[in-house]
Amino acid sequence: MALFVSIDHRLGAFHLRADFACEGRLTALFGPSGSGKTSVVNAIAGLLKPDTARIVIDGEALTDTQSGVCIPAHRRHIGYVFQEARLFPHMNVKQNLIYAQRFGGRAERPGASFESVVDMLGVGPLLQRQPSLLSGGEKQRVAIGRALLSHPRLLLMDEPLASLDEARKQEILPFIERLRDEALVPIIYVSHALDEVRRLADFVVVMDHGAVVDSGPPQLTLRAAYIQDGPQGETEMNIFEVFQSEQLADGRWALKTHAGVFHAPQSQPMPSRVRVSPHNLVVSLDDPGRAGVPSVLQGVVRSIARDGVDQTCRIVVRAGDVDLVARAPEAFVRETCLREGAHVYLLVTALQVS
Amino acid sequence: MRYIQLDISYPGQGNAKRPLMLPKRRNHCRMPRAGNGVFGDSMMFDAGLTADEWTAVRLSAQVALVAMAASLPLAVGTAFLLARGRFWGRAALDALVHLPLILPPVVTGYLLLLSFGRNGLLGAFFADYFGLVFSFRWTGAALACGIMGFPLMVRAIRLSIEAVDRKLEHAASTLGANPAMVFATVTLPLILPGVLAGAVLSFAKAMGEFGATITFVSNIPGETQTLPSAIYAYTQVPGGDAGAMRLTLISIVISVGALLLSEVLARRVARRIAA
């Protein structure tokens, strides 16, 4: 799927001018609230008619104000998962799902079957229920299933997790990851939550004040955003894209990322992403050598913040091309007189690969 | 005893199909016979009603139901236009719809007589092209009732359309439903309580409509004599109190029954679409 978007639209004092192209499996539209992300996906879906726009998907112009093309929403075959689910209140879950199949599923397009979608999203036990009796997370799962059953060529997700609590988010995230990894349908994912974007996106379009300010792979585009995100405690996570990997003689992986080389235990298939919690990066001023610790990164301290989480400091380190976050006890920072600009080693005590 | 000459026909007179717009010199007010209602020549029915009174009840229900059913699609369309439409002349349409509500019913009836009478522009058109005659027929009574209830119906439906979450309609369109299907499968089911309320209001209005009906189609037993006209006729003759009271009670029972039925239906619908 290749998507090209160029929009110029005025809405009162707000001026939206977004230009970007993407073709990833999951492209995130990332930026603070009110930056125009939802307007962009509404324009892609055909729910918003911009003043001037050209939106092309796989060579087909959906909107082209210059030549007067604007395909109505119901003929675009673009699925849309809204923030507030928008299930039809007068139909039960099954009827909601069948509704999508009835209208969208007629398209001559291979798509997921009813059973497989129900299975994958685990909504089988909910089929006879009314939407008003579902929890927020259940509603959102049904909404995802409904959008999938319309057999879309592109799935838009507008902050699908924003109205859910942390536990519910963790309930939905694996499903979205599955959608992405099984390449069922390309996704445009709107979010202002950094951790979601880091976890999900393979391409990021950063928006601010109605304009696209950056686009590219997450490790490059989210660098600046990382620091703005502020203390997140447990939810903060360093994520590195693997751009080159090598299998060592003992079967372990040597994974090259923009931050340095990680060593991961033997696994199948080849990892494409490394995730390290800030608590699993031990800051050291001395070179620990290779003894005992499989992966060691090097970098320069950019900032140290006492944010009061577990009596630790949040330390941002520039390693290689990217910034990452480590946590060290306040006592350690005090005793070693750690300062910005100091050269440090980061011992990776635990990592996850995917 | 001296009776006043009346030009109002009443149940049991048995001269249906004749317009009674002109006074007739006929001494047609009979004395009631003891113990047998006003009209001795009528059969006794259940609930103590005579055959002719039953005719009035049946006719009222028929007129009200037809008025309601025929105006319903038009009212939904008009309410939709007024709630969603952005077009020139919307305010004028709004005023036109509300006209029967603010005009004296007799004025509405007279205007109907002018336009839908045999020689009226619309009346001639419908008679020539559809064979549909309104003047002095029960169809005319239904037309008058439908028009009198129309503003009430439109207002109720319009309110419910304005309350519909358009986001649900947008969701339906992203799923591939065209605008007509979105209306049929999402909007219409969601406004059903409002449509129901409008229908009941219109039915109730039709059951009680008097001024416009009697002006337009007169008071012909078996053809245009609805409950209110029959009650009115009773009140104009000596000894008609008992008959008027019987029909009044019937009228109350039907109206309250319709209201209760609509409450039950509305609650059932509301439970089904509880958000």
pLDDT digits (tens, 9 = 90+) for A230-269: 444 445 677 777 778 888 888 788 888 878 888 888 776 7
Q: Do B173 and A78 touch (CB under 8 A)?
A: no
Q: Give the pLDDT band of residue B272 (cuts 50, 70, 90).
A: low
Mean pLDDT of chain B: 82
The ipTM (two decimal places) reads: 0.72
Q: Does A89 touch chain B (CB under 8 A)?
A: yes
Count of CB pairs separated by less than 8 Å, A with B: 73
Tell me the backbone φ, ψ of residue B31, rounded to 5 degrees: -75, 140
Q: Which residue in A305, A343, A342 sits closest to A327, CA to CA?
A: A305
- CATH tag for B49-272 (out of 1.10.10.10, 1.10.10.350, 3.60.20.10, 1.10.3720.10): 1.10.3720.10
pTM above 0.90, yes or no: no
Cβ-proximal residues to B171 (8 Å cutoff; 6+ apart), any chain: A80, A82, A86, A88
The domain defined by A234-353 carries CATH number 2.40.50.100:
yes
User: Is the minimum CB–CB distance between A24 and chain B shorter than 8 Å?
Assistant: no
pLDDT in tens, B5-26: 444 444 544 444 443 333 333 3
Our CA-based measurement puts residue B150 at a distance from the nearest CA of chain A, in whole angstroms, of 27
3-state secondary structure of A231: coil
Kindly report the nearest CA distance between residue A82 and chain B, in angstroms. 8
Residue B113 has pLDDT above 60, yes or no: yes
Domains of chain A: which residue ranges? 3-229, 234-353
Q: Residue A300 and residue A295: Cα distance in Å, rounded?
A: 17
Residue B210's closest CA among B186, B222, B227?
Answer: B227
Q: Which residues of B touch A158 (CB under 8 A)?
A: none
Spatial distance between the Cα atoms of A104 and A45, rounded to a whole number of angstroms: 14
pLDDT tens for each residue of B183-221: 999 999 999 888 988 999 899 899 989 999 999 999 988
**Measured in whole angstroms, how far is the alpha carbon of residue A229 from the centre of its chain?**
15
pLDDT band at B33 (very low <50, low <70, confident <90, very high): very low
CATH code of the domain made up of A3-229: 3.40.50.300
Which pLDDT value is given to residue A107?
Answer: 53
Give the pLDDT of residue B184: 93
Q: Which of B18, B20, B19, B15 is nearest to B7 (CA)?
A: B20
Task: Please name which of A313, A308, A300 lies closest in space to residue A343, comparing C-alpha atoms.
Answer: A300
pLDDT in tens, B61-110: 999 999 999 999 999 999 999 999 889 999 999 999 999 999 999 999 99
Q: Name the residue of chain B whose CA is nearest to A143's CA.
A: B171
For residue A216, how far is the Cα from the chain centroid? 13
Interface check for A99 against chain B (CB to CB < 8 A): the answer is yes
| DSSP H helices in A262-322 | none
The answer to whether the CB atoms of A89 and B273 lie below 8 A apart is yes
Is A79 in the B-facing interface, judged by CB distances under 8 Å? yes
Instruction: Note whether B175 contacts A104, CB cutoff 8 Å.
Output: yes
What string of pLDDT tens digits covers the 354 residues of chain A? 789 999 999 988 889 989 999 888 899 998 877 788 999 999 999 999 999 999 999 888 999 999 988 999 999 999 999 988 899 999 999 999 999 888 875 555 666 788 888 888 888 899 999 998 998 889 999 999 999 888 888 999 999 988 888 888 888 888 888 888 886 789 999 988 877 888 899 899 988 888 888 888 887 776 544 434 444 444 567 777 777 888 888 878 888 887 888 888 877 677 777 878 888 888 988 888 766 777 888 899 988 888 766 788 888 888 877 778 888 888 888 888 888 889 999 988 888 887
Q: Taking phi first (over 0 means left), then psi (-120 to 50 degrees means alpha), and beta for anything else, what does residue A34 get?
A: left
